[in-house]
Amino acid sequence: MSESVKLKRFNMMIKKQLLLILAVTTLGYVNTVYSQSPINGFMQGKGKGNVSVSYSSEKYNEVYLVPDFVDGVPVFNEVQISSASLYATYGITDQLEVVLSLPYISAEGNASQEVLDNLNFENKRSGLQDVSVFVKYNPFYFDYGSSSVRLIASVGVKTPVGSYDENEGLQSIIAIGNRSTTVSALGLAMFKMDSGFFATGQFGGNFATNDVPNSTFSELKLGYAVSKFYGDAFLANQVSTSGVDILGEGFQGFFPATRVSYTKIGVNLYTPIYKEFGIGTGISTLLAGRNIGKATGVYGALVYKF
């Protein structure tokens, strides 16, 4: 078989996969909507806070579409997303604090060199993503002796700081963000016992630019927190209130406009190790979703409390 015939057959195979390729693109948009809420039920106190540096990694090769669940990622075969993040909180008063986070994201595919050469693609995209700043206010605290209830309100903004591109066509399967400025608002209630057991629930909304759909989100968390140990299990959910399905009616190939919903569970653990320093770790996985990949991720963090 001549080289020209081989090339034609290869190009035909690629074209047949293009529609399926479109279906996995939204998984490259690594942003905070796929993460836990940055707001928890604990207050730092005036002049106190913490700074943490974390590393996380997740991989996917399956995708939740509408109506099908797709096994395998065409072109890139599978995608691994890694991030190094800075996270900090500071108590301005006993009732008011600020929360900041900034991730550096790396998304890497596993496409063959032949595919990369024929499509003029690259196997990696990386860079600074979006900075998030939240203000957290605790107006109500009720003490019942051996237990307490805390009510918290929070508002924040997430905006791009890196020079990444969110609209490179099919190369955007491994884009690191959607270049949306998003305002988020939420309310949280926390019940805590003196023994250390606690439960929190929160609900809020994301209001985005760049044609990214708005969404509602919620999180339920059960945990145990004492001086030498912290652990929790959580269930998180997001539902987009608008947008289009990949390959569905109204879809025009601009992936940030896709309706993304998911249900996610996970576990977080933390323990102090030396004076003000501690270490944290966790794992999470998606149970269900819409226009999103079935990813399982792990992280580790070094935390400094002051």
Question: Three-state DSSP class for 57?
Answer: strand
Residue 69 has a CB neighbour count (10 Å cut-off) of 12
Alpha helices in 133-188 (DSSP H): none
Alpha helices in the chain (DSSP H): 3-24, 113-119
- The rounded distance, in Å, linking the Cα atoms of 172 and 11 is 20
Cβ(218)–Cβ(201) below 8 Å: yes
- The rounded distance, in Å, linking the Cα atoms of 22 and 36 is 26
Q: Is the pLDDT of residue 29 over 50?
A: no
- The rounded distance, in Å, linking the Cα atoms of 111 and 9 is 18
Confidence of residue 209 (pLDDT cuts 50, 70, 90): very high
Range from 161-175, 199-213, 263-277 carrying the lowest mean pLDDT: 161-175
pTM for the full predicted model:
0.85
**Structure tokens that stand for 88 in this block:** 């900090």
- The rounded distance, in Å, linking the Cα atoms of 299 and 306 is 22
Average confidence score pLDDT of the chain: 88
**Model confidence pLDDT, tens digit, residues 236-271:** 999 999 999 977 888 887 878 999 999 999 999 999
CA distances from 169 to 173, 251, 254, 255, 300 (A): 8, 13, 8, 9, 33
**Model confidence pLDDT, tens digit, residues 130-141:** 999 999 999 999
